[in-house]
Amino acid sequence: MTQTSEQTPSPTTATVPVRATWRHYLELTKPRLSFMSVITGTIGYLAAVPYSYLDWPRTFLVMLGTALCAAGVATLNMWMESDTDAKMKRTANRPIVIGVVAPGSAFVLGWILCLAGLIVLFKLVNGMSAFLALATIVAYLALYTPAKRWSRWNTEIGAISGALPPMIGWAAAGRSNPGLGWALFAIMYTWQMPHFFALAWTYRKDYAAAGMPMLSVTDPSGVTLTRWTVIWTGLLITSSLLPTLLGYCSWYYGGVAVVLGLWMLQSACKFLNPEKQETEARRLFHITLGYLPLLLGALVADRFFFKL
C-alpha cells in the first residue's frame, strides 16, 4: 500500500479481506532491524573468540538463537504498539494495523520465537548468552516500548536493548576479553543516538501524531536535538577507540575508527544548521547505516589479522 492510502478506498479494497501470507508474518519480525541484531551479535562472537578456537557450527547457533529472539521481540513490539502504529503514516500499513494478522496470532508467534531463541542459546550455546538475550527482550518490551509513550528519554532507554546483542556473542565465546565485550556495548549504545535522533527528526510529525514524546517532538526547533547529536557522535568516536586503547585491537583499526568517526561528526555538525536540518537528518541517518558495518568489519578483521 502506498501513500495514496489516505484516499477513500474503493468498495473492492474495503470489503474483500486480505488473507495473511508468509510475507505478512515476516514483516512482523522487522527483518532489517532483526538482521542488524544478528550481525552485531555475530560480530561480538567473532571478535571475542580466539581464531584458533573458532567454531563455525557454534557461530551458526549464536546467529540462530539471536535471530529467533530478535524476530520474537520485534513481533511482540508490533503487537504492543499497534494502536500507535495506526496513527503514523510510515507504520499504518503494518499487518496488525490493517487487520491481516490478528493481534492474538502475533502475540503467540512472538513468544514462540523468543522462547525458541532462548532455548537454542541456553541448550546449545551457554547460559550466559541466553541470560543476556533474555535481558535484551525484557529491556525492549518492559522498558523501551512503554517509555516511547511517556518519556523524552526513550531513545536513551531503548539503546540498552540495542547494545546488548554484541554481548550475547561475547558471552557465547566464553566471556573472555571482558573489556572487549563492554567496549562493543559502548559502541552500539552511542551509535544509536545519532542514528535514531536523525530518524526521529525526519519522522517527527508521525511521532507527534501518535503522541510519542520523542526529543524531536518536545524540541520542535531542533536546537537541543542537534546539539545532543553532536555530543553523542563525539562519545561514539571515543567509544570506537576503546578496543585499541584497551589493547584488543591495533592502531590500524584505531585509524579506521577515527576516519569513520570524523565522517559522521562532519555530518552531525552540519545537522546543527537550522536551514539544513531536513536534508542533513536524512544524510546523517544514511551515514550511520554505512558507518556501523564498516567499523565492525574493521574490528573483526583487525582481531583476526593483527591481534589473535
Do 191 and 301 sit in the same domain of this protein? yes
Do 36 and 159 sit in the same domain of this protein? yes
What's the alpha-carbon Rg for the chain, to the nearest Å? 20
How many CB atoms sit inside 10 A of residue 2's CB? 6
C-alpha 38: how far from chain center: 10
Do 172 and 183 sit in the same domain of this protein? no
Do 156 and 84 sit in the same domain of this protein? yes
- CATH at 122: 1.10.357.140
**Which of 161, 176, 191 marks a domain boundary?**
176
Do 205 and 151 sit in the same domain of this protein? no
Which residues of the chain, if any, have pLDDT below 70?
1-17, 51-52, 307-308
* Residue 20: predicted pLDDT: 82
Structural domain of 227? 177-308
Query: What is the rounded CA–CA span in Å between residue 73 and residue 189?
Result: 19
**Which of 122, 145, 176 marks a domain boundary?**
176
* Residue 52: predicted pLDDT: 67
How would DSSP label each residue in the chain?
--GGGGSPPPHHHHHSPPPP-HHHHHHHT-HHHHHHHHHHHHHHHHHHS-GGG--HHHHHHHHHHHHHHHHHHHHHHHHHTHHHHTTSGGGTTSTTTTTSS-HHHHHHHHHHHHHHHHHHHHHHT-HHHHHHHHHHHHIIIIIIHHHHHH-TTHHHHHHHHHHSHHHHHHHHTTS-SHHHHHHHHHHHHHHHHHHHHHHHHHTHHHHHHTT---HHHH-TT-HHHHHHHHHHHHHHHHHHTHHHHTTSS-HHHHHHHHHHHHHHHHHHHHTT-GGGHHHHHHHHHHHHHHHHHHHHHHHHHHIIIII-
In a domain, 296, yes or no: yes
* Residue 294: predicted pLDDT: 96
* Residue 17: predicted pLDDT: 56
Do 218 and 101 sit in the same domain of this protein? no
In a domain, 88, yes or no: yes
* Residue 153: predicted pLDDT: 95
Minimal CA–CA distance to 304: which of 103, 51, 94, 72?
51
* Residue 12: predicted pLDDT: 40
Query: What is the rounded CA–CA span in Å between residue 222 and residue 197?
Result: 10
Q: In angstroms, what CA-CA distances link 249 with 102, 143, 174, 241, 279?
A: 48, 33, 19, 9, 35
* Residue 172: predicted pLDDT: 94
